Amino acid sequence: MQVAFSADERRVAEQPYYLASGDEVEVFQAAHRQRLPLMLKGPTGCGKTRLVEHMAARLGLQLITIACHEDITAADLVGRYLLHGGETVWVDGPLTRAVRRGAICYLDEVVEARADTTVVIHPLADHRRELNLERLNETLHAPDDFMLVVSYNPGYQSVLKDLKQSTRQRMVGIELGYPVAERELRILVRESGIDEARAMELVKLAHAIRKLDASMLPDVCSTRTLVSTARLMCEGLSARAAAMAAMLLPLCDDAEVVRGLREVVNTYLPQ
Amino acid sequence: MQVAFSADERRVAEQPYYLASGDEVEVFQAAHRQRLPLMLKGPTGCGKTRLVEHMAARLGLQLITIACHEDITAADLVGRYLLHGGETVWVDGPLTRAVRRGAICYLDEVVEARADTTVVIHPLADHRRELNLERLNETLHAPDDFMLVVSYNPGYQSVLKDLKQSTRQRMVGIELGYPVAERELRILVRESGIDEARAMELVKLAHAIRKLDASMLPDVCSTRTLVSTARLMCEGLSARAAAMAAMLLPLCDDAEVVRGLREVVNTYLPQ
Amino acid sequence: MQVAFSADERRVAEQPYYLASGDEVEVFQAAHRQRLPLMLKGPTGCGKTRLVEHMAARLGLQLITIACHEDITAADLVGRYLLHGGETVWVDGPLTRAVRRGAICYLDEVVEARADTTVVIHPLADHRRELNLERLNETLHAPDDFMLVVSYNPGYQSVLKDLKQSTRQRMVGIELGYPVAERELRILVRESGIDEARAMELVKLAHAIRKLDASMLPDVCSTRTLVSTARLMCEGLSARAAAMAAMLLPLCDDAEVVRGLREVVNTYLPQ
Amino acid sequence: MQVAFSADERRVAEQPYYLASGDEVEVFQAAHRQRLPLMLKGPTGCGKTRLVEHMAARLGLQLITIACHEDITAADLVGRYLLHGGETVWVDGPLTRAVRRGAICYLDEVVEARADTTVVIHPLADHRRELNLERLNETLHAPDDFMLVVSYNPGYQSVLKDLKQSTRQRMVGIELGYPVAERELRILVRESGIDEARAMELVKLAHAIRKLDASMLPDVCSTRTLVSTARLMCEGLSARAAAMAAMLLPLCDDAEVVRGLREVVNTYLPQ
Amino acid sequence: MQVAFSADERRVAEQPYYLASGDEVEVFQAAHRQRLPLMLKGPTGCGKTRLVEHMAARLGLQLITIACHEDITAADLVGRYLLHGGETVWVDGPLTRAVRRGAICYLDEVVEARADTTVVIHPLADHRRELNLERLNETLHAPDDFMLVVSYNPGYQSVLKDLKQSTRQRMVGIELGYPVAERELRILVRESGIDEARAMELVKLAHAIRKLDASMLPDVCSTRTLVSTARLMCEGLSARAAAMAAMLLPLCDDAEVVRGLREVVNTYLPQ
Amino acid sequence: MQVAFSADERRVAEQPYYLASGDEVEVFQAAHRQRLPLMLKGPTGCGKTRLVEHMAARLGLQLITIACHEDITAADLVGRYLLHGGETVWVDGPLTRAVRRGAICYLDEVVEARADTTVVIHPLADHRRELNLERLNETLHAPDDFMLVVSYNPGYQSVLKDLKQSTRQRMVGIELGYPVAERELRILVRESGIDEARAMELVKLAHAIRKLDASMLPDVCSTRTLVSTARLMCEGLSARAAAMAAMLLPLCDDAEVVRGLREVVNTYLPQ
């Protein structure tokens, strides 16, 4: 069976812009120095990936990202024998490459992966810091620079998909949320090229929506959707049309809820 | 295991007729210029595919369509090694071809696909615009013209099959519905060759049915079924027999409901 | 994994006897001329297959029948590479053969097939009339004579197994029921060689059973079971013994219901 | 994947003893002459298999038995390509062998088989009497002597495992029960060698147990367990010990029910 | 797919000590002489395996044990083709070996095996006494000495995992329980080397626990756990510590129940 | 299918520091001398693995650890044939290696493994002490030093995942909890290098949290999270920030619960 997954490997050359909202940079650094694995919690589009990219550049480490899903198995992480020209060749998986190189291995949405992946992580995530390559009859000892980072969105968790306490309690946690207004404004201007006045209108709208009754909405507007809205406005769409397309329609399918949100939009944005 | 799926690739030579009912053409163009992916929402047979064909021709881009279903995996989209004459040869999947050529890749009914497909989409659908070909040890950077478009029908969604917010909030949304009466009339005449008077009777019938109590019917009559009715009439069937065959019987199996609908038909169509 | 299925291919040489009970022949012909796919609805043993055989002969077309079940996949319909003498050879599936030859492809009990089959059907069932042979890197355009016909029994449908509206609304519908008394009598005489008097007794019995409370019986007696009863009578079984064996016992396992039915039998048939 | 199943093929040389309790022999013969398939219903150990063996000998036909279970697929019945010495060789399945030879093919407990087996049966079980060997590109027409017989136990059926009406209504039914007292007595004496007096005690006990409240017991004592009891008695066990071992303990695990049954045993059997 | 299972084959040279608690030895012998299969019922650790070992030695037969579990298929019992040095070689499964040699084949916890195993057992367990080796095109007739013995624990059965009546009623049953006090005492002394006084304390404790409310405990203490307790005491552990380790902690995880049991222990055992 | 798992093999050279909290060392030794398998129960991070490492060193035995998960099958434990350079070579699994060498085989979280693993364990865990290598046609008799140890966390068990009584009652049990305050203090100082005063504050905090209402928290803080907290403090984080990152966020996702816990933290730790 073939499983495709994205292992995004790159040394982040230029240090991405990141404005800390709390002590997340200090905790990240302390965990790295103590060789403790890290767990990032937070909603979609709040900057978890951005923080990892920023810290990888800051620590001068290569970053290997694995987007997890329900078909990801331990073998996908560790590696497997493949047939090449009639020869069986061992091919390291992304986790093994990260251990060999002393890189940051970032398992995005880790709870989506299959259960056997936690088995591979456990001996890497405690005092042993070992990766067992059973098939190669080899055990890798992770260099000091190697760091395991996982992310997940607590809002999506269900009883069926959750990290076991024996996994969680091996990790140090960082919780992220959406940025405060002034910081979100700066991000909008920087990422879309929109002017500050219109950006502020969007930020105010987003904060209004985020204050709505949680039971009414499946989620709230991420910073990412604000950036998309601003970019559509730069193409000449009206603020309301852009917010409809990039904020409301992606958020929700319920016609009545969309109608209610549209009124909020009309209150905050010019015609 | 072999999985068959339809990847309909073609450069739409002649620009298909499309009469916009709102700002969908502008939003589509703005999203393309800003390199943002697009999500089309709307009921069956309302013109989602037609819009994509129209825009592909207008933007001068090749269109690659993938009809999603529950056996579609990431490997089906990205590609795989196949055996040809004793040699293993890599064969690009339709998504990879779309990225290489800067085409529009249209994932029809995307929620039907397996969960691991979202993993492939995610890095293509944010600022990275990258497709990881893990097996080729290669990462493709999408050219500016490449555009990802997905469609789905909100009326069919269930708790089990839904797009995650982290997928949705990467996209710009367009919502389509059935056309207003005058526009639907023009479509009928054009697509079936029926005369305007009889076409108007069918449009009035469709609007009457669409106003019925939603709980009574599994769905409403799409524009497509109106066209089929008109085409059967051009073969000499009476209006009532044609509507029975092409509108009522496909819509619903419940004998009592069909009987009720037949009365509506008799009110609007001549014997 | 190997999947066996029956693809019954034959050009129906002699036009099978078929006495229309409504406008089904006209609708079938109109749909064929307009290149629209057809959906036959009706209970078991009412003549759906017979109608298709009749029309295939009448239109001078080859008929390829596929009995669907839950292990039928798109690859079973379209074709696959098989190993023959160390060589991989592409083998067309029955749907592909039907498209190449301009035949009628009849998917019997289509809802039983796996979900990915609808993907293959969709582009064949709208204006595109295309079959994508992804593995051959080839797209077949169906000739005008090609016609897709599907059947299903609305009484068997459940929430889990139903055709999606996006599939249904691509099709023209024909609904069949059991024939009226006089027509059923003629069928009995013709198919079993029984005399008219005894045939009429069976027809009257069947109509009596079909009028019973639907909640009491899992189904009603099909025309097919009447023919079987008549054939057993021709072998010397009494009418009552034949009806017990060919009508009652196949219909139902509940002892009490069978006892009730036996009284109905005794009322209509001589000892 | 390998699937093992038992296809018991033999020409029943000596005609097994069978004492008909109704018109089952006549119905079987009439169905065979009319080339109609047969469905045997009845509880475990009542003689279904014995009837088939008897009729096969009487009609001079070979009998091929397939005990169905949930891993039996259409390919197990029809045949498949196997690798022998580097060559792929087609190996007929038991159903195919039965068709080729004009034998009786007996599918024991047919509802246990997987759904795709009904697809193979359908064209064999109506007027077509054809077996499609898709993989061999060959269609077999069953000779007149070929006969399909299926059995099942209505008491075991559930909603999940049932024959579809479209399958059932292709068949002629025979219902069997446990033999009347005098007949069961003769079977006991013949099969175990026990004397008539003790055999009669066992028959009376069985009839008493079969009259108990059905909700108390998972099933009743079959004729087969009576034979086993008699055989243990011939080895010197007391009647009560033999009935406990061969009738009560196989029947039921509930200690309280067994205690109640033991009292019934003590009433009918000597110490 | 590879399935590992334990087929423990050995001719039991020395006849293991077994003190019958009822007529189980006589029933076993009678069933063997009459070539009837046997079903052993009883709780864990009560001596089912010991009885089979004892009888195998007594009858001078080889014993082949198969511990069943949910991945055991018919092929695991019967045999399969394996690749050895490029050649495909048939390898008999343990059931086939038992039939060829006229051994006792003991299926431990038979209900845990997959459903298709019953198919292999059925023709071996009735008058046919045949094993069909479909893949070898061979049918084995079991020699008179061959005997099929299955065991299961009625306390573990659920609706999902149960033997079908058609399987059960082919067998002769023996029910075992825990031994009476005096017999259990003798087993303890013999198996652990403990003195009689301390052994009697353990037996009294076990009988007290076995009388507790069944709804409070998941099971009761088997004779096996008494032996383990005695053996720990022989290593110098106090009676209470040994009972805690070998009787209470294996039995139950509920802290409150363990506390209650500990008080029972303190009542029966010295400090 | 490839299954990766971690089999951590090493002879523990230096005897790890372990301060017994009860008679666990004596029970472990007695079980080893009596060749009885051992079951360790206790919450996450309480020192189960540490005890096994300590005892392996003390007994001078090699330790082979297998972290179990739901894809671990019997073949993963026992071994399998693999292809190496065109040759099939048998490769011992970790359990087989442990038996051959007379090592301790430690199955961590054994209930997570697939059901067929218990089949391999059973004959190793009773008086037979045998490992059947069916594929090698070989049975290994475990040397006296071989010892099977399993662990599991009773708090995680569900009805679906539990050890069967027939498995449990083969084992001797040891139950571990979190260490008493003075002992936990010594561990903290030793493992993190923190000073005693600050370590005592953390221990007091942990004990306060462990006394909270169990229904409020998914679990309690393990000793492991205390060590992580102390290590972050050694990197300069404040006690409160460190406890937030290493104790609270890993423990729980519920914002309200975290807020409540933060107040507990503020009470016990300086600003």
Interface contact flag, C246 D41, Cβ < 8 Å:
no
Q: What is the largest CA-CA distance in chain A?
A: 67
Do D and E touch, counting CB pairs below 8 Å (3 needed)? yes
Interface contact flag, E29 D235, Cβ < 8 Å:
yes
pLDDT of residue F151: 92
Task: Specify whether D55 is located in the same domain as D164.
Answer: yes
D-chain residues near E130 (CB < 8 A) = 6, 8
Q: How far apart are CA B34 and CA C142, in angstroms?
A: 39
C262: number of Cβ within 10 Å: 14
* Cα angle for residues F128, F132, F135 (degrees, 5° grid): 170
The yes-or-no verdict on residue D28 having pLDDT over 70 is: yes
Q: At B17, is the pLDDT very low, low, confident or very high (cuts 50, 70, 90)?
A: confident
pLDDT digits (tens, 9 = 90+) for B45-78: 888 988 999 999 999 999 998 878 776 778 888 8
Q: By C-alpha distance, which of A155, A115, A120, A264 is closest to A201?
A: A264
Interface contact flag, C119 B67, Cβ < 8 Å:
yes
Closest-approach residue (CA) in chain E for D108: E119
Return residues 161-180 of C near D (CB < 8 Å). none
The yes-or-no verdict on residue D5 having pLDDT over 50 is: no
Closest-approach residue (CA) in chain B for C130: B8
Closest-approach residue (CA) in chain A for F153: A166
F-chain residues near A92 (CB < 8 A) = none
pLDDT digits (tens, 9 = 90+) for A182-234: 999 999 999 899 999 999 999 999 999 998 877 777 788 899 999 999 999 99
**Region F10-18 average pLDDT:** 63
In sequence order, the β-bridge partners of residue E138 are E133
* Residue F103 DSSP class: -
Task: Specify whether C22 is located in the same domain as C152.
Answer: yes
pLDDT digits (tens, 9 = 90+) for E32-68: 999 999 999 988 888 888 899 999 999 999 999 887 8
**Region D22-32 average pLDDT:** 95
The token duo for F67 is 């972290």
* Residue F173 DSSP class: E
| A27, A88, A116 member nearest F237 (Cβ) | A27
pLDDT digits (tens, 9 = 90+) for E91-144: 898 999 999 999 999 998 888 777 777 778 888 998 889 898 876 768 899 999
Q: Cβ distance E78 to E35 under 8 Å?
A: no
**Parallel/antiparallel/unpaired status of strands D7-11 and D62-67:** antiparallel
The yes-or-no verdict on residue F268 having pLDDT over 50 is: yes
The yes-or-no verdict on residue D254 having pLDDT over 90 is: no
Dihedral pair phi/psi, residue B90, rounded to 5°: -75, 135
Task: Specify whether A132 is located in the same domain as A188.
Answer: no
Task: Specify whether B62 is located in the same domain as B119.
Answer: yes
Q: Cβ distance F93 to F75 under 8 Å?
A: yes
* Cα angle for residues C99, C105, C109 (degrees, 5° grid): 145
Instruction: Out of B155, B175, B195, pick the residue that ends a domain.
Output: B175
CB half-sphere exposure, E175, CA atoms < 13 A: 17
Q: How far apart are CA F160 and CA F111, in angstroms?
A: 10
E13: number of Cβ within 10 Å: 7
Q: At F262, is the pLDDT very low, low, confident or very high (cuts 50, 70, 90)?
A: very high
Q: How far apart are CA E225 and CA F125, in angstroms?
A: 12
The token duo for D185 is 């007595």
pLDDT of residue A83: 61
Percent of chain B with pLDDT over 70: 87
| pTM of this structure | 0.71
The token duo for F37 is 């398998």
In a mutagenesis test of the B interface, which of A72, A77, A82, A253 is the best target, namely the one with the most B β-carbons within 10 Å?
Answer: A253
The yes-or-no verdict on residue C6 having pLDDT over 50 is: no
Burial of B153 (0-12, 13-18, 19+ CB in 10 A): buried
The yes-or-no verdict on residue C58 having pLDDT over 90 is: yes
Q: Is E116 helix (H, G, I), strand (E, B) or coil?
A: helix
pLDDT of residue E86: 56
The yes-or-no verdict on residue C61 having pLDDT over 50 is: yes
Task: Specify whether F23 is located in the same domain as F115.
Answer: yes
pLDDT digits (tens, 9 = 90+) for E163-176: 888 889 999 999 99
Task: Specify whether E77 is located in the same domain as E135.
Answer: yes
Q: How far apart are CA E131 and CA E124, in angstroms?
A: 6
Q: By C-alpha distance, which of A243, A248, A222, A247 is closest to A50?
A: A222
Q: Judge whether F1 lies within some domain.
A: no
* Residue F111 DSSP class: G
Q: How far apart are CA C119 and CA C116, in angstroms?
A: 5
Interface contact flag, A75 F6, Cβ < 8 Å:
no
The yes-or-no verdict on residue F57 having pLDDT over 50 is: yes
Q: By C-alpha distance, which of D211, D8, D4 is closest to D98?
A: D8
**ipTM given for this complex:** 0.83
pLDDT of residue F3: 31
- Domain of B54, CATH number, reads 3.40.50.300
Instruction: Out of D160, D175, D190, pick the residue that ends a domain.
Output: D175
Task: Specify whether E188 is located in the same domain as E242.
Answer: yes
The yes-or-no verdict on residue B126 having pLDDT over 80 is: yes
Task: Specify whether D261 is located in the same domain as D166.
Answer: no
Q: Judge whether D2 lies within some domain.
A: no
Q: Which chains touch B (3 or more CB pairs under 8 A)?
A: A, C
The alpha-carbon gap from E72 to the nearest alpha carbon of chain D, in Å, equals: 12
The alpha-carbon gap from E99 to the nearest alpha carbon of chain F, in Å, equals: 18
pLDDT of residue C240: 95
pLDDT digits (tens, 9 = 90+) for C211-230: 887 777 778 889 999 999 99
The yes-or-no verdict on residue A102 having pLDDT over 90 is: yes
CB half-sphere exposure, B34, CA atoms < 13 A: 30
Buried-exposed string D48-69: b where 16+ CB fall within 10 A, e elsewhere: bbbbbbbbbbbbebbbbbbbbb
The token duo for F167 is 């498995």
The alpha-carbon gap from A179 to the nearest alpha carbon of chain B, in Å, equals: 17
pLDDT of residue A44: 82
Interchain CB contacts (distance < 8 Å): A and F: 133
| A81, A114, A119 member nearest F5 (Cβ) | A119
Comparing A69-78, A82-91, B173-182, which segment has the lowest mean pLDDT?
A82-91
Comparing C66-80, D164-178, F17-31, which segment has the lowest mean pLDDT?
C66-80
Looking at the complex, does the CB of residue E31 fall below 8 Å from at least one CB of chain D? yes
Burial of E33 (0-12, 13-18, 19+ CB in 10 A): middle
Closest-approach residue (CA) in chain E for F22: E241
Q: How far apart are CA F266 and CA F241, in angstroms?
A: 10
- Give B86's contacts (C-beta < 8 A, 6+ positions apart): none
pLDDT of residue E1: 26
CA distance readout (Å), D131 to C77, D135, D138, F45: 18, 12, 9, 63
Q: Judge whether D119 lies within some domain.
A: yes
pLDDT of residue F83: 61
F-chain residues near E153 (CB < 8 A) = 166
Task: Specify whether A186 is located in the same domain as A70.
Answer: no
Task: Specify whether C33 is located in the same domain as C153.
Answer: yes
Domain total in chain D: 2
Q: Judge whether B2 lies within some domain.
A: no
The alpha-carbon gap from A155 to the nearest alpha carbon of chain F, in Å, equals: 9
pLDDT digits (tens, 9 = 90+) for D70-110: 767 788 888 877 666 556 678 898 999 999 999 999 998 88
pLDDT digits (tens, 9 = 90+) for D102-133: 999 999 888 877 767 777 888 899 888 989 88
Q: How far apart are CA C204 and CA A140, in angstroms?
A: 83
Interface contact flag, A69 B118, Cβ < 8 Å:
yes
Q: At C185, is the pLDDT very low, low, confident or very high (cuts 50, 70, 90)?
A: very high
A-chain residues near B34 (CB < 8 A) = 228, 231-232, 234-235
Cα radius of gyration rounded to whole Å, chain F: 21
pLDDT digits (tens, 9 = 90+) for B88-108: 678 898 999 999 999 999 998
Comparing A2-11, A12-21, A122-131, which segment has the lowest mean pLDDT?
A2-11
Interface contact flag, A4 B29, Cβ < 8 Å:
no
pLDDT of residue C174: 96
Dihedral pair phi/psi, residue E7, rounded to 5°: -115, 100
Q: By C-alpha distance, which of F63, F55, F70 is closest to F102?
A: F63
- Give C264's contacts (C-beta < 8 A, 6+ positions apart): C205, C208, C209, C212
Q: Which chains touch E (3 or more CB pairs under 8 A)?
A: D, F
Looking at the complex, does the CB of residue D97 fall below 8 Å from at least one CB of chain E? no
Q: How far apart are CA A269 and CA A204, in angstroms?
A: 9
The alpha-carbon gap from F188 to the nearest alpha carbon of chain A, in Å, equals: 14
Q: Terminus-to-terminus CA distance in chain D, angstroms?
A: 53
Looking at the complex, does the CB of residue C13 fall below 8 Å from at least one CB of chain D? no
Interface contact flag, E70 F115, Cβ < 8 Å:
yes
Q: Judge whether D233 lies within some domain.
A: yes
Q: Judge whether A1 lies within some domain.
A: no
Looking at the complex, does the CB of residue A23 fall below 8 Å from at least one CB of chain F? yes
pLDDT of residue B119: 73
pLDDT of residue D7: 47
Task: Specify whether D18 is located in the same domain as D142.
Answer: yes
pLDDT of residue C252: 87
Task: Specify whether E165 is located in the same domain as E187.
Answer: no
- D9-14: long-range contacts, CB 8 A cutoff, minimum separation 24: D9/D62, D9/D63, D9/D64, D9/D65, D9/D94, D9/D97, D9/D103, D10/D62, D10/D63, D11/D56, D11/D61, D11/D62, D11/D63, D12/D53, D12/D54, D12/D56, D12/D57, D12/D63, D13/D57, D14/D57
**Region F73-88 average pLDDT:** 73
Residue-range definition of the domain harbouring residue C104: 7-175
Q: Judge whether C128 lies within some domain.
A: yes
Q: Judge whether D1 lies within some domain.
A: no
Q: By C-alpha distance, which of A187, A243, A234 is closest to B33?
A: A234
CB half-sphere exposure, E113, CA atoms < 13 A: 29
Instruction: Out of C142, C175, C208, pick the residue that ends a domain.
Output: C175
Supply the mean pLDDT for chain F: 85
Q: Cβ distance C38 to C149 under 8 Å?
A: yes
Interface contact flag, D156 E164, Cβ < 8 Å:
yes
**Region B218-229 average pLDDT:** 89
| F4, F71, F228 member nearest A78 (Cβ) | F4
The token duo for E245 is 């380790």
pLDDT of residue C9: 54
Interface contact flag, B249 C122, Cβ < 8 Å:
no
The alpha-carbon gap from E231 to the nearest alpha carbon of chain D, in Å, equals: 34
Q: Is E238 helix (H, G, I), strand (E, B) or coil?
A: coil
